[in-house]
Amino acid sequence: MFSSLYHRCCTPFIILLPSSANPLSFSPPLRLARRLRLSAQQVSLYSNSPSFPIPPTNNHQKPSPPRPFSSLSASPLLTSPPSTMGSLSAPAGGLLPYPPARRDETVVEDYHGVKVSDPYRWLEDPDSEETKAFVEEQVKLTDSVLKTCDAREKLKEKITKLFDHPRYEAPSKRGDKYFYFHNTGLQAQSVLYVQDGLEGEPEVLLDPNTLSEDGTVALGKLSVSEDGKYLAYGVSSSGSDWITIKVMRVEDKRVEEDTISWAKFTGISWTHDSKGFFYSRYPAPKDGEKLDAGTETNINLYQESYYHFLGTDQSEDILCWKDQENPKHFFGASVADDGKHVLLHISEGCDPVNKIYYCDISTLPGGLEGFKGSNKLLPFTKLVDNFDAQYEPVANDGTTFTFLTNKDAPRYKLVRVDLNDPSSWTDVVPESEKDVLESADVVNGDKLILSYLSDVKNVLEIRDLKTGSFLHQLPIDIGTVTRVSGFDRSEFQVKQVSSFSLILSAWLD
């Protein structure tokens, strides 16, 4: 929460998008195609809609796997004459020539004494020639049916029209520069822009559509340094969860030699001196192991948290945390607002629970540099050391931290704790009787913007940061608030999906 480009500062922009905007963060047909390395022509067989924008997502969230290939053997649905709805029809010969799938009767597992055969396990290897040939035959079959659909071109035209409108992400400020994403309409990925001040001329900083000719390289997690001088960004290929982190100098758009490999389910969090950033990665494969191409199905174990110094090789990065006794744990280190504390977010799955550790890096003898070449981990202190609830940092004032949590509050609430008295937690904003508190952001230095889900719509409240007392509700129409972005001024904007376009500014003075 503290570290991404969508870092909360002091003030946010409200951008209301048309209801036609895609609420999804990726195009399922494109992702499936990328994982299978299909061509653009083959992609059209899965979906003839335009390539939907793919905005940056939370890399800790594992993307949904592609839908498995289901049996399309001859059935009444496919072999009977078209009905009044039917734009699709079988070939004149009757039965569809569905490609045969080889059964391997030798694959049998023993689960607690029960024999379970798995004759199609060979299909789990998407890189085998046999699997590729089978998929190709499926594509041909699909094409033979879809080309008979008389409504396909009409659907394509309608969907293209709905998506063909300009879209903007709420901007974020670093140093004296503003950063935001913009999509002209049908671009596969939104483009990152930068401008000097509010009146500056926007320039393209990074266009992810140019990262590859075939569009199979996507922009993932990214973060701008506090002074606005450096951009750290992750790219992934063919729909893989693995990302390679690169660093760009914002002033001249020069890509530095820094390269971080084997990063996965990670955030990027800069220290306030802009000397480097925290990230998470997995151990590199041993010599002789098959390198991942984004199609593996095995689980990754033993994630570790590192700190990278700019201008150095990844082999010199500081190992900040690991846990050999819990190989399935995920780690995410983020720098707090004061720049002194680093919070370590520990989770073990998709459940809304996590642990929280902290380290005051301002008290480290020699700073982080003192750990170079050392085997010592950072001296994290355990604040929450069990998986009983979720704790997401909202703000800190010295050793006093405010968290969004579902501890004894399934609809979430805000709590506060002093690191010097970790046993004493107090409610800042109690749990609502009926509304779900989805997010909390600090603006204007001393105020909170809370986003509640109330009766299937979002409601924004302004509250006092210190006391949590209600000040007033923002006048926004029915819609979905997607994020709040803050600046060091008192105006704010929130991006919202709604039935119309509008920019709303509210002053908190």
What is the mean pLDDT of the segment spanning 117-124? 95
235 and 352 share one domain: yes
pLDDT band at 486 (very low <50, low <70, confident <90, very high): low
- Is residue 78 pLDDT above 70, yes or no? no
Residue 110 lies in a domain: yes
Cα–Cα dist 99/139, whole Å: 10
pLDDT band at 62 (very low <50, low <70, confident <90, very high): very low
Identify which of 169, 60, 63, 62 has the alpha carbon closest to the alpha carbon of residue 392. Answer: 60
pLDDT one-digit tens code per residue, 24-41: 333 333 333 333 343 333
pLDDT score for 89: 58
pLDDT score for 468: 97
What would the two tokens of residue 397 be? 């004032």
Do 201 and 150 form a contact (C-beta atoms < 8 A)? no
Greatest mean pLDDT range, 20-34, 82-96, 254-268, 434-448: 254-268
Number of structural domains (the chain) is 2
Give me the residue label for tokens 């609830």: 389
The pairs formed by 172-176 with CB atoms below 8 angstroms and a separation of 24 or more are 172/5, 172/6, 172/7, 172/9, 172/224, 172/485, 173/9, 173/228, 173/487, 173/488, 174/224, 174/225, 174/226, 174/227, 174/228, 175/226, 175/227, 175/228, 175/229, 176/228
- CB 358: neighbour CB atoms within 10 A? 21
367 and 221 share one domain: yes
228 and 363 share one domain: yes
Cα–Cα dist 118/122, whole Å: 9
The CATH number of the domain holding residue 226 is 2.130.10.120
149 and 277 share one domain: no
pLDDT score for 436: 98
Identify which of 56, 58, 276 has the alpha carbon closest to the alpha carbon of residue 180. Answer: 56
143 and 278 share one domain: no
Residue 285 lies in a domain: yes
DSSP 85-116: S------TTSS--PPP----TT-EEEETTEEE
Q: Using the 3D structure, point to which of 389, 421, 449 is the last residue of a domain.
A: 389
- CB 324: neighbour CB atoms within 10 A? 8
112 and 233 share one domain: no
Helix (H, G, I), strand (E, B) or coil at 470: strand
> Which is it for strands 491-497 and 13-17: parallel, antiparallel or unpaired?
parallel
Percent of the chain with pLDDT over 90: 64
109 and 227 share one domain: no
Q: Using the 3D structure, point to which of 389, 410, 432 is the last residue of a domain.
A: 389
pLDDT one-digit tens code per residue, 433-484: 999 999 999 988 889 999 999 998 999 999 999 999 999 998 887 778 887 7
Residue 483 lies in a domain: no
Identify which of 173, 211, 213 has the alpha carbon closest to the alpha carbon of residue 195. Answer: 173
- Is residue 424 pLDDT above 70, yes or no? yes
282 and 363 share one domain: yes
Domain residues for 116? Answer: 28-68+101-162
What would the two tokens of residue 156 be? 């394509």
Do 102 and 167 form a contact (C-beta atoms < 8 A)? no
Q: How far is CA 254 from CA 211, 257, 270, 470, in A?
A: 15, 10, 19, 47
Amino acid at 174: R
Residue 428 lies in a domain: no
- Is residue 287 pLDDT above 70, yes or no? no
Cα–Cα dist 11/17, whole Å: 20
Identify which of 416, 397, 508, 392 has the alpha carbon closest to the alpha carbon of residue 468. Answer: 416
246 and 373 share one domain: yes
pLDDT band at 247 (very low <50, low <70, confident <90, very high): very high
- CB 498: neighbour CB atoms within 10 A? 21
